[in-house]
Amino acid sequence: MLQPLKVAQTPESKFREYLMTRPKPQRFTEAQRKLVEFIFSAHDHFDAEQLCAELEKSGLEVSRATVYRTLAKLVDAGLLRQIHLGQRQVYEHDYGYPEHAHLHCESCGKMIEFESPQLEQLVAEICGKHHFQGKRFNLLVHGQCVDCNRARGAQRRLDLI
């Protein structure tokens, strides 16, 4: 589990600042406030439909359109990161978390986050070699987690009987 970093602003105040500094300033609505508070109350990977279902289960009334529009703005503001998993797009906290990469189990959908100073150094070296100003990286390794590998191995043994 990644440990959050100390940040100067709360996600809510950072998002409010983002909305106010847009070419055409936008107001920070109560629905957006509820949504930001809900999203940043726990660190998890989620897609928009999962978020809508969790909001409904929690009794928070936020329209589906507001969810989708706000997610796009949160990504643009640098608060969330969007990860493409084939046809599915999941979101995770970007603001307040260290640079990290992911392992994605294609069988059960589990996402494993990990930090790697060696990987960060390699990315910095590659950027330097190409005179490229890197901001962040997003490594996603697809495969199978240990639990799914075990289950697959057990099924194969049963097939041999």
Dihedral sign, Cα of residue 73, residue 75, residue 80, residue 83: positive
What are the tens digits of pLDDT across the range 38-58?
999 988 899 999 999 999 999
The C-alpha angle 78, 79, 81, rounded to 5 degrees, equals 75
Residue that has been written with the tokens 């930090």 in this structure: 115
Residue 55 pLDDT: 96
Collect the ranges in the chain with pLDDT lower than 50: none
Q: Is the dihedral of CA 63, 59, 79, 125 positive or negative?
A: negative
Max Cα-Cα span within the chain: 68
Is the Cα torsion angle 47, 48, 49, 54 positive or negative in sign? positive
CB of 91 within 8 A of CB of 82?
Answer: yes
